[in-house]
Chains A and B, each alone.
Chain A
Amino acid sequence: MTEIFLKLIIGVVSMTALGIVGGFIIQGVDRKLAALMQARIGPLLRQPWWDFLKLMRKENVVPEHAVPWVYNAAPIMAFASVITIFLYLPFAGFNPLMEGYGDLILIMYLLAMPALAMVFGGFASGSPYATIGAQREMVTMIGYELPLGAIVISFAWKMAQSGLAHPFSLKTIAANPIWNLVGPFGIIGFILLLLAMIVVTPAELSKGPFDAPEAKSELAEGLLVEYSGRNLAMFYLALGAKMIAMLGLTVALFFPYTISQYFQVDTTVKIVIEVLFYIIKIFLVMFVSVTLMRVSMARFRITQIVEIYWKLGGTMTFLGLFLIMLDGKL
C-alpha cells in the first residue's frame, strides 16, 4: 500500500514536470514549424515559456457575471486531468506508471475531461461568446468521439481476436505492434484508422482547422474569452500537456516500436536511445497531425466539423473496422 502511494506521489510530480516542460517545448516547435511553413522567421522556441511567465504576472480578472468557483476551478481541473492521463500512458517503451489499473477506455474518458473543463469554464464565465464557444466545443466533442471510439474498439477487437490477455490495456497494445498482427486487408484498415486519428487530433487539441469553439475572429476566442492572467496560463499549460498526451496516445497505439534492442550497449545508453527515438516519433506525429493540418487548411464551420467527423470519419473508421474483421476471419 505504501509502495503504491510512493509511486503515485513520485509519478505525479515527475509527470507534472514532464507535462509542463514538454508542453512548452512541443508548442514552441509547433509554432516555429508553422512559421517556417508560412515563410516567416517565427517566434523563439521558448516563446510559450515567456507567454506563460507573462500571463502569470498579469491581473486575474473574474467577471461580474461569472460563477467564481467553477470559473476558477476549470483550468485546474483541465490540467489535473491531463496529468492523470500521463499516469496511464506508456512513454518511450517504459510501462505506464499505473500499469494494471487503467486501460484505453479510461484514457478516452480522461481525454474528454480537459475539454469538458473548458466547457464548464466557458459557461461559468457568463459571457455570450463563451457560451457559444462552449456549445460548439460540446458539438465538436460529440463529433470526434465517434471515430475515436471506433478506433479504440478496432484495437481491442484485434487484440482480443489475436488471443492476447487484457485486450484493452495499453501495455498489451504497446507490446504487440498492431502492424505485425494483421494481414494486407488489416493493414489497409489500420491505415484508415491512422488517418482518422490524425483528423481527430486537432479537434481534441482545439487547433485549426477544427478550432471553431475558439474561433478568434468570429467568437473573440470563444471559450476562453473572459479568461486572463493565471487562469489563462493554466489553460495554456493544460493544452500543451494535452498535446503530448494525445500524440503519446497515437504513438502508443500505432507506432509502439522500440529500437534499442538493435544496439549492443548497456542499459543507460539504451534508455537514452529509446527516449530520443520516442521524441522523434512524437515530433513526426505532431508535424503531420497538428502543424501541417492547421497551416494547410482554413477553419471549418461548426456544421462542417460534425459532418466531417460523422460522415467522413465514421465511414473511414467503420470501413477500417470492417477490413480488420475481414482480415481476422480470413
Chain B
Amino acid sequence: MSISKALNKSLWVYHVNTGSCNGCDIEIVAAITPRYDPERFGIKLVGTPRHADVILVTGPVTNKMKDKLLRVYHQTPDPKLVMVIGACGVSGGPFYESYTLSGPVDDVVPVDVYVPGCPPRPESIIFGVVTALKKLEEIQKK
C-alpha cells in the first residue's frame, strides 16, 4: 500500500486502552485541548479503527486485552502507524514482568513510535506525532 503525501496532513487517531491506569489517557485528552490544538496539523481523534491512520496504544497489554488489540490492529485499514504512549506500553513500566501481561505492546503488534513517560506530557505526545510524521516522510522519499 503506497503512502500518499496527504496522509501526513491528515492523521486520524484511534485510541486503545489495553489496561492502562488512565494516566496516559488523560494526557492524550489534554493533548487535544485547545491549548495544544492538534487539529491545526489535521490530526483528529476518531471513534472507530476503520477511520484511523494511527493507533495510540496505552497500557501494558493485559492477557485479556491481547486479542482485542490484535483485532483493532487488523481492523485498521492500511497504511497505518502504531504509537505507544507511556512507560507501560514501552516496557511494562510499573507492571514489569507481571503474570497478567502479554505485553509490552511490541510483543503483540509492530510499533512505529514510542513515547516514554509515566505519564508523558502532552508536549511529548505531540513530539511523538512529529516523529511519526518524520518517519512517514522518510518512507515516502524511498
Contacts and interface: CB of A to CB of B under 8 A. Distances in A.
Interface of A: 31, 35, 38-44, 47, 50-51, 53-54, 57-61, 129, 216-217, 219-221, 224-229, 232
A40 B77 contact: no
Contact of B2 (A40, A57, A225, A227): A57
Contact of B50 (A38, A51, A54, A225): A225
B42 A44 contact: yes
The 6 closest A-B pairs by CB, nearest first: A59-B77, A53-B6, A216-B47, A54-B6, A50-B9, A57-B4
Interface of B: 1-2, 4-7, 9-10, 34, 37, 39-40, 42, 45-48, 50-51, 53, 75, 77-79
Contacts of A57: 2, 4, 6-7
A58 B75 CA distance: 13
B16 to A, nearest CB: 12
Given A50-B9, A217-B47, A221-B48, A43 B40 contact: yes
Chain A interface helix/strand/loop/mixed: loop
B40 A40 contact: yes
A61 B76 CA distance: 9
Contacts of A225: 47-48, 50
A59 B79 CA distance: 7
Given A43-B42, A47-B42, A221-B46, A58 B10 contact: no
Given A57-B2, A216-B47, A221-B46, A40 B10 contact: no
B40 A221 contact: no
Contacts of A38: 34
A42 B45 CA distance: 14
B139 to A, nearest CB: 14
Contact of A58 (B37, B47, B78): B78
Given A40-B34, A59-B78, 20 more contacts: A42-B37, A42-B39, A43-B39, A43-B40, A43-B42, A44-B40, A47-B42, A53-B10, A54-B4, A54-B10, A54-B53, A57-B7, A58-B1, A58-B79, A59-B1, A59-B79, A220-B47, A221-B51, A225-B47, A225-B50
A257 B81 CA distance: 51
Contacts of B75: 61
Contacts of B79: 58-59
A104 B53 CA distance: 42
A51 B5 CA distance: 11
Nearest to A46: B9
Nearest to A49: B6
A60 B6 contact: no
13 contacts: A40-B37, A42-B37, A53-B4, A57-B4, A58-B78, A58-B79, A60-B77, A216-B46, A221-B48, A224-B51, A225-B50, A227-B50, A228-B77
Contact of A220 (B9, B48, B53): B48
Given A40-B34, A43-B39, A221 B47 contact: yes
Contacts of A35: 37, 39-40
Contacts of A224: 48, 51
B103 to A, nearest CB: 24
A232 B77 CA distance: 12
Contact of A51 (B10, B34, B45, B77): B10
Given A59-B77, A216-B47, A227-B50, A41 B9 contact: no
